[in-house]
Amino acid sequence: MKIIMLGAPGAGKGTQAKMLAEKYGIPHISTGDIFRANIKNGTELGKKAKAYMDQGMLVPDELTVDLVIDRVQKDDCVKGYILDGFPRTIPQAEALTKALSGRGEKIDAAVDVEVPDEAIVTRMSGRRACVKCGATYHIVYNPTKTEGICDACGDALILREDDKPETVQKRLTVYNEQTQPLIDYYKTLGVLVEVDGTKNLNDVFADICAILG
């Protein structure tokens, strides 16, 4: 099963992607997590990506596409994978379609988690993230057992730099301009799945599973 998660920043893509990866036993590949791990480790890629991410802009396609195309060819992806945060532009989507079709493969479903912009800023300000293992929580909707500590790995949680309200607004604008067109792209390919992301996270998960089977 090869799945793409679509939706605005903070719609719950990462939360659902982790649950789906566990259910299907396939890897969760988040470009945001890959960039944040590179920033934490001080790599050249991390330094370049940080300059864009902190401003709420997209990292350029030339730094992103090959990274993902290489990743989905690793051995752990033979049964499929969940792509979270990629593709984010039409050129990224076209590059992925081309790379997959060259191997006789295709995406099975592109899941669009729909949440209106008004609800997004509230969600982002309450989000807490673990840079070490990629787990995501919310102080109200999905709290940790011990405040500020990751349930999964015990590391300290952070409020992401790009979750400040003014940066969230910029990310929403970028999403509406550059990523929203992917909804029509995947609708045309006949693989679009739309779910109401305003429900609680277990209900959103149940809705996705009911469609994907």
Mind telling me the catalytic residues?
13, 88, 127, 160, 171
Identify which of residues 136 and 208 has a Cβ nearer to ligand AP5 in the complex.
136
Q: How far apart are CA 150 and CA 145, in angstroms?
A: 8
Kindly state whether residue 138 participates in binding ligand AP5, applying the rule CB under 6 A.
yes
117, 128, 125: which is closest to 15 by C-alpha?
128
Characterize the bridge pairing of strands 109-114 and 2-6. Answer: parallel
Q: How far apart are CA 49 and CA 91, in angstroms?
A: 18
How many residues bind ligand AP5 (CB under 6 A)? The answer is 37
Which of 21, 26, 32, 72 contacts ligand AP5 by CB under 6 A? 32
Q: How far apart are CA 53 and CA 202, in angstroms?
A: 29
Contact yes or no for 14/84 (Cβ under 8 A): yes
Question: Would you call 86 helix, strand, or coil by DSSP?
Answer: coil
Output the smallest distance, CB 32 to ligand AP5, in A: 2
Which of 2, 3, 4, 7 contacts ligand AP5 by CB under 6 A? 7
Q: What number of other Cβ atoms are within 10 A of residue 55's Cβ?
A: 13
Binding-site string for ligand AP5 from residue 154 to residue 193, where x marks contact by CB under 6 A and - marks none: --------x--------x----------------------
Q: List residues binding ligand AP5 (CB under 6 A).
A: 7, 9-15, 31-32, 35, 52-53, 56-59, 64, 85-86, 88, 92, 123, 126-127, 136-138, 141-142, 162, 171, 197, 199-201, 204
